Amino acid sequence: MADSNRLLSRRDFLKNTAAGAIGATAMLTTCQATAKATDVAAQVPQRPFGSTGIDVPILSFGGSLNTSLSMLVLNQAVKWGVTYWDTANSYMGGRSEKGMGKYLEKFPADRQRIFLVTKTHAWDTEGMSRDLNLSLERLQTDYIDLYFMHSVSSGSELTDDKKAWAEKKKADGKIRLFGFSTHSNMEECMLTASRLGWIDGIMMSYNYRLMHTDEMQQATDACARAGIGLTAMKSQGGGQVRTDTQSELELAGRYMKKGFTDAQARLKAVWESPHIASICTEMPNMTLLMSNVAAALDKTTLSARDLNLLQQYACETRSSYCSGCTAICESAIDGDVPIGDVMRYLMYARSYGDHHRARAQFQKIPLHIRRKMKGTDYKPAEQGCPQKMAIGQLMRQALEELG
Ligand code: SF4
């Protein structure tokens, strides 16, 4: 980990920012003063992004929100070294990119410091060029540091025409690096990428539930050997730790004693992996930014017992978390119903409390598929599901809650 010599303890961080005493609301009103106080002291540490020669902060700003409303947060993020910004052509109908563009127009000197990532949903190179040009315009920049194909779900999507496109855009100076994000069948996508030689970076779902499986460990090892930079997303692995069982109670109590929340502990668990360059997480307000920066600056590591308990908790609650292995369940029921996507939308609603996004995404599923969802027999999918999820019941609940 580079730059560790500038780390502050969490207590020092809170003391310097006066957050413990004045609270998050007051913090917003004293942003300028706070920023000044922490300019020199607090910088999120960095790690190398694969073998690209670029170091990135271990915490990145997830921009799946209307960033036009987050100018203060973006400004403070830069001051604390959260200079890896992630957005997408599709986020908030373009308002995420436009907001970041507005920021860069106002603070042009910050462009050099920011590792800017955006994504395209286009599946042909013509559409990718169109999306890239639009993103450059919205973001008010001449180049993108890392350009992603959005939501790749099979290694077969990494075709030679995409490789040629990426090489051309790099030569033209429009992008520096190329890669993809993935929520489904991540391990297969990552293994394929590790053999190709032209993928620079991948952002995948990765958290305390997924990181210890043999498949994910093989995939991250292979990417690390291939020099691919890895960014973790969905790092919370679902909702808050509950306190229904003895192990859950013990887990919550241990974190409290150590002075961090379970959300911060989950970030720490992911940073335990040396293969992860950065965690991308949404930080729509100063409170979350502060909490995550504090976790990144804090030198306390999770003990072996903490990590074991977290794994035990993951086992006990596995039927509440979809691990994205859609090749198993979707093919068992003829492949039309996007089970993995629906599970993710339910997670947005139930774990993140983001009902608006959950409904908006769900409504994009074609009507005839939504109708088909109702009458489908999900038993074959449930039999193959490694997480033992009640798929049929959850699909019906999604239709009721999000339809
Ligand atoms: S429902 Fe089960 S089989 Fe389907 S993607 Fe989720 S965890 Fe995998």
**pLDDT tens per residue across span 303-354:** 898 888 888 888 888 888 999 999 999 999 977 899 999 999 999 898 888 8
Q: Which of the four pLDDT bands, split at 50, 70 and 90, describes residue 152?
A: very high
- 119 phi, psi to nearest 5 deg: -140, 155
Whether 320 lines ligand 1, by a CB cut-off of 6 Å, is no
CA of 340 to the centre of ligand 1 (A): 6
Query: Which mutation among 189, 333, 337, 385 tests ligand 1's pocket best, with the greatest number of atoms within 8 A of CB?
Result: 385
pLDDT confidence of residue 258: 83
Q: What is the tens place of the pLDDT at every residue in 166-195?
A: 999 999 999 999 999 999 999 999 999 999
Euclidean distance between CA atoms 161 and 165, whole angstroms: 6
Q: Is 153 helix (H, G, I), strand (E, B) or coil?
A: coil
Q: For a pocket test of ligand 1, which of 184, 323, 341, 388 has the largest count of ligand atoms closer than 8 A to its C-beta? A: 323
**Range with the lowest mean pLDDT among 246-260, 279-293, 316-330, 369-383?**
246-260
Tokens of 84: 């890896």
Cα 185 to averaged position of ligand 1 atoms, centre (Å) = 10
* 324 ligand 1 Cβ < 6 A: yes
Lowest mean pLDDT among 141-145, 193-197, 304-308, 397-401: 304-308
The CA distance from 100 to 111, in Å, is 10
Q: pLDDT-derived band of residue 16, with 50, 70 and 90 as boundaries?
A: very low
In angstroms, rounded to a whole number, what is the distance separating the alpha carbons of residues 43 and 310?
A: 28
Query: What is the model's pLDDT at position 244?
Result: 67
**How much distance in Å is there from the Cα of 325 to the middle of ligand 1?**
5
pLDDT tens by residue, 364-382: 999 999 999 989 999 999 9
Residue 339 alpha carbon to ligand 1 centre in Å = 7
Output the CA torsion sign for 265, 270, 274, 278. negative
- The per-residue DSSP string of 85-125 comes to EE--TTGGGGHHHHHHHHHHHH-GGGGGG-EEEEEE--SSH
Measured in Å, residue 205 CA sits from the centre of ligand 1 at 14
Rounded distance between C-alpha atoms, residue 131 and residue 97, angstroms? 12
Distance of CA 170 to the CA centre of its chain: 25
For the entire predicted model, the pTM comes to 0.87
Spacing, Cα 392 to ligand 1 middle (Å): 12
> Which ligand 1 atom sits nearest the alpha carbon of residue 323?
7
- pLDDT averaged over the chain? 88
- Protein residue closest via CA to atom 6 of ligand 1: 322
Q: Using a 6 Å cutoff on CB, does residue 327 contact ligand 1? A: no
> Which residues are paired to 201 by β-bridges?
179, 229
384 CA closest ligand 1 atom index: 3
- What number of other Cβ atoms are within 10 A of residue 18's Cβ? 15
